[in-house]
């Protein structure tokens, strides 16, 4: 824990003890071309940097073709200031199709990140913090081995949950990375159980991410709802996530279409996903007012969380989704699928309601009875907020524990 005994659990982490040097690596990191991509990676680094570490961050970025859907990558800068630290974007070859050539991408990232870091930084770092095993951890593996640096990797699900879908060479790269790691971290207990397929139990630990409640203007809820044009009796349903099948958008639209009410409005915030245009067309066909937002600024997303009466997340699988932490910080109750790490976050019937995935009928019925009881919604939202505080699911505590783990592996 922090040496600053006067700091509150929700305040930014205070610098503690002697600084050490960290190299952070996140291929999925926001930049000025993709400003809302995987913001939790940035928030983790930003919180860690606030503890007083000496932080350098690299975000391996694909070489861009001159034209086509990936040509916008050419506008990603060589480096830029992002939050409280600087991010460097060394280029590597991202081979397509991914299904067959993802191992080529990993090998290129490993070679080019090693070369870039050794050229850019004169002295080796004390520890490498990767935002996943593949590509991030694997990209730093050679640098760690050459300089005898401990590697810590935090998985948010993708590399572990999709392991069996990767080809043999990618699987071997993931195993090689996990074998080298001094600490194997995941964001949920359910995902930690998966990680124990590949690593000794004493090397695996759940490290939750979180959210900072002071960033959510809950005392301005009535004003925000007026600015959004919401009638006091209107219930705002909020969806935040990628517009894709795995996030349950098809079940969500089916449930909304069968919801026979006149007191409902819908807000959907997206930042990627193959079903974007399909989802927008379905929202436009609803009898309820519906607004879709694309790559919305985090400040605006917080306002929508505060204004919402219920967050709806009918995902097919998840670890511990950031959006639920955000809802808890905003005092919003949650209606979500009973999958992955979500039951670790949402207490069914107390801070929200859990339903089976792939079940639009149950989703619609649950929406209907919850919307009939606004007082219960408020009580569940308040209980979720208290649960966030009681468990210290904040970025400050996340950074403090990450720093403790770094000290342990450097000892």
Candidates 120, 130, 131, 136; CA nearest to 79 is 120
The CATH fold assigned to 213-390 is Rossmann fold (3.40.50)
With tokens 């998966």, the residue in question is: 194
Side-chain half-sphere of 3: how many Cα atoms within 13 Å? 7
* Architecture in CATH for domain 21-210+394-410: 3-Layer(aba) Sandwich (3.40)
What DSSP designation does 137 have? Answer: I
Query: If we measure between CA atoms, which residue out of 61, 65, 66 comes closest to residue 31?
Result: 61
> Residue 240: beta bridge partners?
269
Q: Which residues are paired to 46 by β-bridges?
A: none
Domain positions in the chain are: 21-210+394-410, 213-390
Encode pLDDT of 317-356 as tens digits: 999 999 999 999 999 999 999 999 999 999 999 999 999 9
pLDDT digits (tens, 9 = 90+) for 68-79: 888 999 999 999
Sheet containing strand 204-206, strands side by side: 79-82, 85-88, 54-58, 21-25, 127-130, 151-155, 183-186, 204-206
Of 14, 82, 7, the residue nearest 43 (C-alpha): 82
For 359, the token pair is 């079940």
| Strand pairing report for 310-313 and 91-92 | unpaired
Which are the contacts of 103, defined by CB distance < 8 A and separation ≥ 6?
167, 169, 170, 173
Parts of the chain with a pLDDT under 70 = 1-17
Strands 85-88 and 79-82: antiparallel
Which stretches within 247-348 are classed as H helix?
249-257, 276-284, 298-307, 322-329, 342-345
What confidence score (pLDDT) does residue 69 get?
82
User: What stretches of 150-267 show up as alpha helix (H) in DSSP?
Assistant: 158-161, 168-180, 189-195, 221-227, 249-257
132 exposed, middle or buried (CB, 10 Å; 0-12, 13-18, 19+)? buried
pLDDT at 122: 85
- CA gap 31, 39 in Å, rounded: 10
Residue 7 is predicted with a pLDDT of: 39
The helix or strand, by DSSP H or E, that contains position 127, with its residue range, turns out to be strand 127-130
The set of residues, in sequence order, having a beta carbon less than 8 Å from that of 18 and lying 6+ positions away, is: none
Whole-model pTM? Answer: 0.92
- Give the per-residue pLDDT at 8: 39
Strands 91-92 and 183-186: unpaired
Helix locations, 121-157, DSSP H? 138-139, 141-147
Neighbour tally for 285: CB within 10 Å:
10
What order do you get walking across the sheet with 235-240 strand by strand? 290-294, 264-270, 235-240, 310-313, 334-337, 352-355
What the block records as the tokens of 338 is 């009973």
Q: Are 107 and 2 in contact (CB under 8 A)?
A: no
Dihedrals φ, ψ of 24, to 5°? -95, 145
Q: Is 87 helix (H, G, I), strand (E, B) or coil?
A: strand
CA pseudo-torsion sign 28, 32, 36, 39 = positive
pLDDT of residue 17: 63
d(CA 218, CA 124) in angstroms, rounded, equals 45
What distance lies between CA 301 and its chain's CA centroid? 14
Spatial separation of the C-alpha atoms in residues 51 and 386, rounded to whole Å: 25
What does the block give as tokens for 209? Answer: 């991410």
- The per-residue b/e assignment along 60-95, b for 16 or more CB within 10 angstroms, e otherwise, is bbbebeeeeeeeebeebeebeebeebebbbbbbebb
* pLDDT for the residue numbered 15: 53
pLDDT tens-digit map of 135-149 = 999 999 999 999 999
């Amino acid at each position: 824990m922090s040496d600053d005994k006067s700091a509150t659990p929700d305040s930014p982490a205070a610098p503690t003890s002697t600084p050490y040097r960290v190299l952070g690596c996140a291929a999925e990191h926001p930049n000025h071309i993709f400003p809302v991509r995987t913001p939790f990676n940035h928030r983790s680094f930003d919180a860690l940097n606030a503890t007083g570490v000496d932080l350098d961050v690299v975000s391996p970025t694909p070489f861009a073709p001159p034209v086509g859907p990936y040509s916008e990558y050419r506008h990603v800068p060589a480096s830029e200031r992002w939050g409280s630290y600087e991010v460097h974007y060394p280029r590597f070859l991202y081979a397509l199709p991914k299904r067959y050539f993802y191992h080529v991408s990993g090998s290129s990232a490993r070679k080019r990140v090693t070369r870039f870091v050794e050229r850019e930084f004169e002295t080796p770092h004390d520890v490498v913090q990767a935002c996943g095993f593949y590509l991030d951890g694997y990209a730093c593996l050679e640098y760690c081995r050459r300089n005898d640096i401990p590697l810590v990797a935090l998985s948010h699900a993708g590399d572990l949950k999709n392991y069996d879908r990767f080809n043999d060479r990618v699987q071997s790269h993931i195993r090689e990375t996990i074998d080298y790691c001094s600490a194997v971290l995941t964001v949920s207990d359910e995902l930690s159980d998966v990680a124990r397929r590949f690593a000794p139990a004493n090397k695996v630990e759940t490290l939750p991410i979180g959210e900072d409640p002071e960033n959510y203007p809950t005392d301005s809820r009535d004003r925000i709802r007026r600015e959004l044009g919401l009638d006091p009796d209107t219930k705002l349903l909020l969806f935040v996530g990628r517009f894709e099948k795995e996030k349950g958008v098809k079940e969500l639209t089916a449930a909304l279409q069968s919801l026979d009410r006149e007191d409902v409005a819908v807000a959907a915030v997206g930042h990627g996903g193959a079903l974007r245009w399909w989802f927008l067309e379905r929202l436009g066909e609803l009898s309820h007012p519906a607004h879709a937002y694309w790559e919305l600024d985090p400040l605006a997303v917080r306002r929508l969380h505060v204004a919402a009466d219920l967050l709806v997340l009918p995902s097919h699988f998840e670890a511990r989704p950031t959006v639920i932490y955000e809802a808890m910080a905003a005092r919003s109750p949650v209606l979500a699928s009973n999958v992955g790490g979500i039951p670790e976050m949402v207490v069914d019937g107390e801070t929200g309601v859990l339903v089976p995935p792939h079940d639009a009928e149950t989703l619609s019925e649950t929406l209907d009875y919850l919307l009939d009881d606004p007082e219960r919604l408020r009580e569940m939202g308040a209980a979720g907020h208290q649960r966030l505080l009681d468990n210290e699911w904040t970025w400050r505590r996340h950074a403090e524990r990450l720093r403790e783990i770094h000290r342990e592996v450097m000892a």
